[in-house]
């Protein structure tokens, strides 16, 4: 039996409101826990309180500085040594700097595997090329400087301090190879058959997700603008946080009914009435589109984009795909009010849910990283 720790911030593994970070973290944890040769336990670290690091974060100049490594490393290294830990699974790229003191202390005796939810440079590059608002020239140059620092850090840690990386999409697997990672494995999202008792309301469509996540906000806004451009006013339900963003969207698009941030049970009760769950992702942002796995496992009728399906593998069934805001708006108007079409896509989703990779297949992809 090989002893291992799951190094993470506690809120990443469990929170009152379950978001994409929690879903991916829980999935990583459960897959590793299912490997019979591993005895896994959690090791929690908190966000930094260091004034300098917090200043960098506030100024938008952080470079993997959410945690105070110098403060935490003594206790962490003592724990690894005292408990005879052989494998450290680092949950999320934001904790990657913990790899350096572990490697310096234990050399090759301890395997270090990064469970990446996506590199910071990916979403930051998105903001550089597709900004949410106008930026001053000085800010533009500072952002470019930060992007270079992020990429340099990401490559350095893969070459020097990590043994392997687990990526959440095939796209990021190749990016990790380009960075120089020694071993890279792609872990598709686990699909379940937790089908809800659906009662779709004709014409009702909806979106759920973090509204301050730039790809979410921009993708959703482009679709809503397309409805407005065509003079369409669908029954549109919106779930997510922060409330300010939801209220702003509802104010800009009066046909949107913003419901706030719902608990898991409240979300289930709401979402079972939707004729379509929408996933309007127009760019390949970091990680995988975690909300899609939940929608598939619930057996919902889904419309997504190709970019929105990154990070998935299945053998049967299909999802309704539209790769532009105009085509997604057209498909939703044509199909969401037709019960026979809605039922067809429910059936297709359930075929998808039942044909994803099994736990043993996923476990073997984790095992590859530390063998």
CATH number at residue 60: 3.40.50.11930
Tokens of residue 10, six digits: 């506690």
Say if residue 78 is exposed, middle or buried (CB neighbours under 10 Å; 0-12, 13-18, 19+). Answer: exposed
Q: Which residues contact 325 (CB under 8 A, 6 or more apart)?
A: 222, 223, 225, 226, 280, 282
Q: Which residues contact 164 (CB under 8 A, 6 or more apart)?
A: 111, 112, 113, 114, 181, 182, 183, 184, 185, 368, 369, 370
pLDDT for residue 291: 84
Identify whether residues 232 and 298 lie together within a single domain. yes
- HSE of 113, CA atoms in CB hemisphere, 13 A: 26
pLDDT for residue 15: 74
Identify whether residues 313 and 185 lie together within a single domain. no
Give the chain's domain count. 2
Domain of 291, in residue numbers: 204-353
Identify whether residues 339 and 363 lie together within a single domain. no
Instruction: Examine residue 199 and state whether it is found in any structural domain, yes or no.
Output: no
Identify whether residues 79 and 127 lie together within a single domain. yes
Identify whether residues 138 and 220 lie together within a single domain. no
Identify whether residues 180 and 232 lie together within a single domain. no
Query: Average pLDDT of 36-59?
Result: 92
Q: What is the pLDDT of residues 86-111, one digit of tens each?
A: 999 999 999 999 999 999 999 999 99
Ramachandran area for residue 281 (φ above 0: left; ψ -120 to 50: alpha; else beta): beta
Pick the range with the lowest mean pLDDT from 19-28, 251-260, 314-323.
Answer: 19-28
Instruction: Examine residue 198 and state whether it is found in any structural domain, yes or no.
Output: no
pLDDT for residue 59: 81
What one-character-per-residue DSSP string does 29-62 give? Answer: HHHHHT-TTEEEEEEE-PPP--HHHHHHHHTT--
Whether the model pTM is above 0.75: yes
Identify whether residues 231 and 253 lie together within a single domain. yes
Query: Average pLDDT of 18-29?
Result: 86
Question: d(Cα 317, Cα 310) in Å, to the nearest integer?
Answer: 16
Question: With bands split at pLDDT 50, 70 and 90, how would you rate the model's confidence at 265?
Answer: very high
pLDDT for residue 14: 82
Pick the range with the lowest mean pLDDT from 36-50, 51-65, 315-329.
Answer: 51-65
Mean pLDDT of all residues belonging to the chain: 93
Peptide bond into 242 cis (omega under 30): yes
User: Do 351 and 316 meet the contact criterion of CB atoms below 8 Å apart?
Assistant: yes
| Opening angle at CA 230, ends 227 and 236, nearest 5 | 25
Q: Which residues contact 138 (CB under 8 A, 6 or more apart)?
A: none
Identify whether residues 158 and 85 lie together within a single domain. yes
Radius of gyration of the chain (CA): 21
pLDDT for residue 141: 81
Query: Average pLDDT of 186-210?
Result: 95
Identify whether residues 262 and 365 lie together within a single domain. no
In percent, the amount of the chain with pLDDT more than 90 equals 78
SS3 27: helix
Identify whether residues 300 and 346 lie together within a single domain. yes
**Closest-CA residue to 33 (of 368, 369, 371, 362):** 362
Identify whether residues 62 and 163 lie together within a single domain. yes
User: Do 353 and 192 meet the contact criterion of CB atoms below 8 Å apart?
Assistant: yes
Instruction: Examine residue 195 and state whether it is found in any structural domain, yes or no.
Output: no
Question: With bands split at pLDDT 50, 70 and 90, how would you rate the model's confidence at 214?
Answer: confident
Q: Which residues contact 6 (CB under 8 A, 6 or more apart)?
A: 13, 28, 29, 32, 40, 41, 42, 43, 89, 91
User: How do strand 235-239 and strand 256-258 relate by DSSP bridges?
Assistant: parallel
Question: d(Cα 143, Cα 241) in Å, to the nearest integer?
Answer: 26
């Amino acid at each position: 039996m090989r002893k291992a720790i799951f190094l993470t911030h506690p809120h990443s593994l469990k929170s009152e409101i379950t978001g994409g970070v929690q879903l991916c973290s829980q999935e990583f944890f459960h897959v590793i826990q299912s490997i019979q040769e591993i005895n896994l336990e959690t090791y929690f670290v908190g966000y930094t309180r260091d004034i300098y690091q917090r200043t960098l974060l506030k100024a938008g100049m952080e470079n993997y500085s959410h945690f105070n490594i110098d403060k935490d490393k003594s206790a962490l290294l003592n724990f690894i040594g005292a408990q005879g830990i052989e494998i450290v699974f680092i949950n999320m790229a934001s904790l990657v700097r913990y790899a350096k003191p572990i490697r310096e202390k234990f050399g090759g005796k301890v395997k270090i595997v990064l469970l990446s939810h996506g590199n910071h440079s990916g979403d930051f590059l998105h903001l550089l090329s597709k900004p949410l608002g106008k930026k001053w020239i000085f800010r533009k140059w500072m952002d470019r400087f930060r992007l270079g620092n992020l990429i340099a850090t990401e490559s350095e840690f893969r070459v020097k301090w990590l043994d392997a990386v687990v990526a959440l999409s095939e796209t990021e697997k190749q990016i990790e190879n380009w960075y120089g990672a020694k071993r890279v494995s792609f872990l598709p999202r686990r699909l379940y058959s937790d089908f809800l008792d659906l009662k779709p309301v004709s014409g009702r469509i909806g979106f759920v997700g973090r509204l301050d996540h730039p790809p979410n906000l921009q993708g959703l806004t482009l679709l809503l603008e397309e409805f407005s451009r065509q003079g369409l006013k669908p029954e549109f339900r919106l779930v997510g946080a922060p409330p300010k963003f939801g209220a702003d969207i509802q104010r800009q698009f009066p046909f949107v009914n913003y419901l706030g941030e719902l608990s898991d049970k409240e979300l289930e009760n709401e979402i079972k009435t939707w004729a379509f769950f929408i996933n309007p992702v127009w760019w390949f942002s970091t990680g995988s589109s975690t909300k899609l796995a939940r929608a598939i496992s619930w057996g919902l009728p889904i419309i997504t984009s190709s970019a929105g399906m990154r990070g998935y593998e299945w053998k049967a069934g299909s999802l309704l795909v539209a790769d532009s805001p105009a085509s997604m708006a057209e498909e939703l108007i044509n199909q969401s009010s037709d019960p026979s079409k809605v039922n067809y896509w429910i059936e297709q989703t359930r075929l998808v849910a039942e044909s994803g990779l099994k736990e043993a297949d996923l476990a073997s992809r984790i095992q590859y990283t530390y063998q």
